[in-house]
């Protein structure tokens, strides 16, 4: 109402797609997410296995 929600310089907050960022960027982000989830699950399983193995030795 009084300009509280508007940025001072609206041109500063524009989002431009560079050539090659159209459809490919969604696929690239999806691949990165899947790789991150896979690596996280693998690391978690490895760490859990080490903790379980150390607990079984005692």
What span, in angstroms and rounded, lies between the C-alpha atoms of 18 and 7? 23
Task: Supply the pTM of this predicted model.
Answer: 0.58
How confident is the model at residue 20, as a pLDDT? 67
Q: What is the DSSP string of 1-58?
A: --SSSS-S-GGGG---PPTT-SSHHHHHHHHHHHHHHHHHHHHHHHHHHHHHHHHHH-
How confident is the model at residue 22, as a pLDDT? 72
What span, in angstroms and rounded, lies between the C-alpha atoms of 25 and 19? 11
Tell me the pLDDT of the chain (58 aa) as tens digits: 455 666 677 666 676 667 766 777 788 889 999 999 999 999 999 999 999 999 998 7
How confident is the model at residue 43, as a pLDDT? 98
Which residues are within 8 A (CB) of 17 and not within 5 positions of it... i.e. 6 or more apart? 25
Residue with tokens 């509280």, as numbered in its chain: 4
């Amino acid at each position: 109402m009084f300009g509280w929600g508007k940025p001072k310089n609206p041109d500063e907050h524009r989002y431009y797609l560079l050539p090659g960022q159209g459809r490919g960027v969604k696929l690239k982000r999806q691949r990165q997410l899947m790789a991150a989830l896979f690596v996280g699950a693998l690391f978690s399983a490895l760490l859990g296995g080490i903790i379980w193995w150390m607990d079984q030795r005692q």
